[in-house]
Structure 1
Amino acid sequence: MSQEQFKVDFIGVGSGKCGSTWLYENVIQHPEVFDGNPKEIHYFGDLYEQQDFNWYKDLFAGSEGKIKGEFSISYMYHPQAAERIYKHFPDAKIIAMVRDPVERTYSDYQHFIRKGDVSRDYPFSEYIRDQEKLKFGYYTDYLAPFYEHFPKENILVLVLEEMQHDLAACYKQIFEFIGVKETSFLPEGVEEKRNQGVNYRFLKLENVLVRTYRFMVKRGLTGFAERLKRSGLAQLVRKINAKSEPLPEMDSASRQQLVDYYAEEQTRLAQLLGRDTQIWNR
């Protein structure tokens, strides 16, 4: 497959902690969509200068005749990702997934604990004092480069809270957008949530698993890392290590602080997408 012939039909660009794993694993169930490449390739982000384009193409080996795509949440936040994607695939369909930034921020906090970057005892109220941790919920800022490079009709922004109201209609919209013929296909287990935050018995063990995955991805071992992540062994370890009780709820004062903080962004995103300002359906 020559570089001129090779093209990717759709690219999911983020955002993190917004259900992109759940979305990707459902989309690749479609029989017309190639399911051989891993999620989180990160090529157009940090790996672009480390790996040549043939490395990226090889991840889609055997995809002839299929709709091809990938999801890497780092693309939304990388300052050069939109331009790089456009350089190689100017006709690609761009998919972004967002959610209430209040909930996204709390989910990110729990993820930082899983990675070992934040202590389990570190209060969420202290965590959100660092505005660097809050900037990722300003979706319109990060979507702007994609709207600058791609025509508006080539960008689909999905809101997690809206999707959950009518999954069949939402996946029909997605399949129409990426260009499959059978748009009424509904993935098996579509109502099952994936990659959710979990309360762990031994947090250090989960820290090791997450850091090992992150180490391999940063060195271009994306396919191997994804196979390891989804292996029966890794899933078994996590199942045994999981506690039965749910994660603690966000405190009400922090919630109100974030609601106020993101109020302007809620309006901006609603205007960008042409939606009602109550976009998160609170």
Structure 2
Amino acid sequence: MNSTNTHSVRMRLRPLLACVALAVTSAVLLPAASAAIIIYDSFTGSNGPLDNRLAETDTTGIPNNTWNRNGTSAYLEGGMGAIITSSTAGNPLAWIGINSPVADTTISVSAEIVFNPTTSYNVPLTQKVEWVSIGFGKSTSAGWLSSDNLLSVRITPGGAWELYIDIHKRASGTLDGSLVAANTVFTATIRYDTENNLAAFFLGETNISGWTNTTGYDTGNISSTLIAAAGFRINSGSGVSPRAAAITSFTVSDLSQIPEPSATAFLAGGIMLVLLMAKRCRRSIR
């Protein structure tokens, strides 16, 4: 084969090789776009107190890692897939064990919550809910209102919210009432960036609180190495008008696998290049 033919073949192969290279790059990066589930529970199953229940998904490797309701009124309405209270003035809470997040990770805890649900959840409509809370704690026997509760958010039926770090209120505000309207299921999430010592309250994918420091205070600092559980509480108060609540799912995730916006943009650009180069490939090898 003479040099002219060799050069021609090389020129025609370049787009094809570029296609292959970009396709391989995309195949490597695309799996990184999803979070790793640590705990997931949709609370379906047999009705009864939330005792000795394993989460539907549990990748912690912790032996016999069951929910611990600490003797509270946390009740599984399994036919409806919800956690409710078994008494009008109850304060149901429950914890489940997780491993302390490793350094330089972002971990999240989230729950689907509904205020004043219909009677399909069998929630006592005379319940007097002050707020619903999710968070991270030191152990599965941690007191929700103690310093063993390391990081949590409280949300009221009226839409007021408060972000707590080591039981110190660090951020607060009020949501649009339509977001937490009766019978409206919403997803509340806390994300904890252990690398930068930051935490935030999200509603869906929207950062409501902004990123808040978890260290640097005279009191009320936390360390990711102390985290050993995640959980929830539905708090009632005697002076509150009748309002009910239910939790319909609970998730703990490692978000470290989700790429930063710059990486996502790079990946999108790479995919566009793959498509363009593939078009050139088809033309070049004809």
Q: TM-score, normalised by structure 1?
A: 0.20
Larger radius of gyration: 2
Q: TM-score, normalised by structure 2?
A: 0.20
User: Relative to total residues, which structure has the larger strand share, 1 or 2?
Assistant: 2
Give the structure, 1 or 2, with the largest relative contact order (CA under 8 Å, sep 6 or more).
2
